[in-house]
Every structure is written in C-alpha cells, then in structure tokens.
Structure 1
Amino acid sequence: MTKSSPLPGLLLLLSATTGLVDAVSVLGLGKVFTANMTGNIVFLGFAAAGAPGFVIKPYLVALLTFLVGALVAGRIGGHLGQRPLRQWLLAAAGVEAALLGLAALCALTAAPWIDAIIALTALAMGFRNATIRMLKVPDLTTTVLTLTLTGIAADSPLAGGTGPNLPRRLAAVASIFAGAAAGALMVTHWGLALPLAVAAGIVLLGTMLCVTHPAAALVHNP
C-alpha cells in the first residue's frame, strides 16, 4: 500500500463509531462493553465475586459473540486478503453495517431486545477488530487506546523519543472521544437506535468513499 493509503482516514472514522457503540452498550445496555473486551473481563470477575450491580450473563454474551465475529472475519480475511483491498473492505463494511443496522432495529421494539443488541454489536466489533488486526495500520486499532496513549507518552521527547505518529495517535484519541460524546447525547435524548444507525451509516459510507481511492485497487501489503 502506498504512502497515500486511504486506510488511516477510514480507520479514524471507524474509531468514532466505537464511541457510538460503547455509548449504547454502557449507557443503554447495563454496564457492558461490546467494542472493548477488557472491561467485560473485569466486570465478569466482579460478577463472579458477587459484587452488587453486576451479573454474569451480558458479559458472557458479549465475549462469546465477539469471538465468533473475530473468527468469521479471520476466515473472510484469509479468503479476501490477497484480492484488491476494496473487495475486502466492502465485504467487511457490509457485514458490520448489517449487524449494526439489525441492532438498531432491535432497539426500536417496544421493549428493546437487550441481549440481541449486545450480541449483534459484539459480533460487529469482533469482526471489526479481527479485520483491523489483519490490515496492520500502526496506531489505529479503532477500538482501544491503551497502547496509543502509552505510545504518546513513552515515545515523546520528554521520554527521550521523537514522538512518531503523534498526529495520528492524537487523532485516534479525539475520534473515540468525539464518538462517545455524540453517542451519549443521542442515547440520553433519542434512545439506542439512532447512534447504532449512525454508526452503521458511517461504516458503510466511509468505506465506500475509501474504496474510490486508486490505492484501494491494489492488494494490501502491510
């Protein structure tokens, strides 16, 4: 992939959707993450110890469906990874947008199907994480920021480094922050369906714009 790769821009857009999805899951589904599994492992430990306010079921649903999504993405990536990048990205965007769209529909029912929304969004994020992992774009995982924040500090001039990829790292942090803030406003004022539908739209439209770039016609070689 050339230096003018469209991937960084797309992954920053996808990072914003992580904030939207986490706003739905944490604020609307009851203290469960569907984009970032570290929190679920911690919460599952709390639930196993009998801590008040934590129950095992939603964390298991999120973890298991996330793994299924990652497994399916691994299979698809293995099949499409040696084809033009645009085919891979469009297939991945189609799957993720469909899952998020179905989750939005589940949120529109008179009594939102909480377990279904957890499962569908975790499937989508598992699929996303595995796809991004195979694309191997530095400092843009789209769902977690721990290593990004570590890199900002550990590679800074104050630590004796040169601050490589600082703009990209800061943009990744800002994207997830902005998505979370926007998602929180949507959830608190308009419910769960809107941020899920917006996330699906961003995934699909952002990817369609990305694949118009000439570099998307090439096979991705990280």
Structure 2
Amino acid sequence: MTSSTPGKHGPRHALAHSDRLPVALTALTVVTGLVDAISYLGLGHVFTANMTGNVVIIAFAAAGAPGFSLLASLVSLAAFLGGAVVAGRLELTMRQYPRRRHRWVCICVAVEAVLLLAAAAVAFAAPHQARYPLIVLTAVAMGIRNGTVRKLAIPDMTTTVLTLTVTGLAFDSSLAGGTNPRAARRITAVLAMLAGALSGAWLVLHHGLGLPLLISAVSAAATALVLLRIPAAECNHRNCTPHAPS
C-alpha cells in the first residue's frame, strides 16, 4: 500500500513508486542554478531567480556599492512579482476545471519554458543590447515557477531557495540528535543547484548567454512533458494538486 503523502519515506521511496514530481522538481532546481549563473554573471550582478539575493543587492546598490545596478535589481523584482501573480491567476483559472486541475503545474512549467526560449532567442539575436529584456523574461519565468512550487508546498523541494534546506540538514542530523529525515532529498536539492550553477557559469564564461538560456528552456520543456504524462489519478494521489503553502 502506497503512502498518500509524497516523499514520506524519502526520495528513494518516491522514485521506487514512479513518483515523477520530485524528479521534475529536482530538474527545475538545476534550471534555477543555470538562471542564477546567467543573471548574475551575464546580466550585471542581478538575480532573477533568487529574490533573497536580489533584495540584498538592491540594498548594496542603494548604498552606492560599485558594480551593482539599482534599476536592474528593481526591474528584476517587479518582473518576478508579476510572474508570481500570473501563476496565481493560472491556478485560480484551473479551479474551474476540476478534472484538469492537476495539469496546472504542467502549464506553468510550460509557460516558463516558453519565456526562457524567448530569452534565448533575444540573447542570440542581440547579445549586447538584451540586458533588460533578458532580466524581465527570466524573472517572470522564475516568478511563475516560484508561485507554482510554493502552492505545491512539498517539503525541501522549493527549487530556488536552499537556506532552510541546508539548515534542515544540520538541525535534523544525527550530530544534533535528529533522525536525518529527507536527508537524501535535501542533499539532492543542494547538488542539483550546484550542478546547475556550475554548468551555467561555465557556459556563460565560454559561450555567452544564448546557449545556457536555450539549455534552460529545453530542460524546462522536458520537465513539462514529464509532468504532462503523469496520470490524473497518480497526480491527485501524490500531491500534484495545489495545497496550502506551509
């Protein structure tokens, strides 16, 4: 008998029972690392996926620290908020179609893929005049993603923020007297972000912005297809429908 709580017994249990949602969210975590590398290294020290870092950068820029743009960071924040609003509206719209409501995650990830593909096209077409269009496109995409994942509220699968994940690894560890719950999932999330950022940094430094953006778009599109193939019954059973955020 399978558990009704996804990831209850950790990622090994989930994967053994063909639960593709944690796998999809891990892939999206890799994409986040790519986008962070693209935005910070290629768009002038601004984050379009990690708003914690972006808010700190806004403070640095406001204080006059060299190498940071207040306008670029504010544009990123505004675009990200707009993307989160879009995610909320999409989820609200899908409530009107109960039999298809489980597809809302797939739709949101597909929209993310389209936005990242548009960003790749812009980067290839106008690599030296594309800073603000790329900030807007990637930040809206990441806002949609974050709104979607927040609504899913799957523990340790935020796809963008690792602070609490790393804290959980230490706080719940055997060294602290804990039982290491979801340790494999947490480590996987950290490694996924690291892999995405590492590959993204290498691609930006050696090939510019277009190629890593294209890879990000293709990865998001592939993830959307994986989500699309999850049957409605399995999806409803395994937490693909929206839950109240924790």
Higher relative contact order (CA 8 A, sep 6+): 1
Q: Point out where structure 1 has 5 or more consecutive residues left out of the alignment.
A: none
The answer (yes or no) to whether the contact 2:123–2:209 under 8 Å persists in 1 is yes
Structure 1 distance, partners of 2:140, 2:206, is: 26
Instruction: Sort the Cα spacing of 1:83 and 1:185 in 2 relative to 1 into closer, same or farther, 3 A.
Output: farther
Partner secondary structure for residue 108 of structure 1: helix
Partner in structure 2 of residue 55 of structure 1: 69
Pick aligned residue for 2:208 from 191, 205, 215 = 191
Shift in Å, 1:109: 2.5
Partner in structure 1 of residue 172 of structure 2: 155
Q: Within 5 A, what are the aligned runs for 1:139-150?
A: 139-150=156-167
Structure 2 distance, partners of 1:212, 1:94, is: 13
Shift in Å, 1:196: 0.8
Partner in structure 2 of residue 208 of structure 1: 225
Shift in Å, 1:211: 2.8
The answer (yes or no) to whether the contact 2:106–2:224 under 8 Å persists in 1 is yes
Structure 1 distance, partners of 2:242, 2:116, is: 29
Question: Aligned pairs, how many?
Answer: 222
Which deviations, in whole Å up to 9, do the C-alpha atoms of 1:199-219 show, x marking residues without a partner? 111111122123323313766
Q: Which amino acid aligns with 2:235?
A: A
Structure 2 distance, partners of 1:133, 1:124, is: 14
Partner in structure 2 of residue 43 of structure 1: 57
Structure 1 distance, partners of 2:87, 2:149, is: 10
Structure 2 distance, partners of 1:204, 1:83, is: 23
Shift in Å, 1:31: 0.5
Structure 1 distance, partners of 2:172, 2:166, is: 10
Pick aligned residue for 1:29 from 43, 49, 57 = 43
The answer (yes or no) to whether the contact 2:116–2:137 under 8 Å persists in 1 is yes
Q: Within 5 A, what are the aligned runs for 1:35-184?
A: 35-80=49-94, 82-84=98-100, 86-110=102-126, 111-184=128-201
Structure 1 distance, partners of 2:101, 2:158, is: 18
Structure 1 distance, partners of 2:35, 2:99, is: 30
Q: TM-score, normalised by structure 2?
A: 0.85
Instruction: Sort the Cα spacing of 1:221 and 1:31 in 2 relative to 1 into closer, same or farther, 3 A.
Output: closer
Instruction: Sort the Cα spacing of 1:184 and 1:85 in 2 relative to 1 into closer, same or farther, 3 A.
Output: farther
The answer (yes or no) to whether the contact 2:44–2:69 under 8 Å persists in 1 is no
Q: Point out where structure 2 has 5 or more consecutive residues left out of the alignment.
A: 7-16
Structure 1 distance, partners of 2:61, 2:157, is: 31
Shift in Å, 1:85: 5.6
The answer (yes or no) to whether the contact 2:146–2:158 under 8 Å persists in 1 is yes
Shift in Å, 1:95: 0.9
The answer (yes or no) to whether the contact 1:84–1:216 under 8 Å persists in 2 is no
Structure 1 distance, partners of 2:103, 2:53, is: 33
Partner in structure 1 of residue 22 of structure 2: 8
Cα RMSD of the aligned pairs, angstroms, is 1.7
Determine if the alignment matches structure 1 residue 220 to structure 2 residue 241: yes
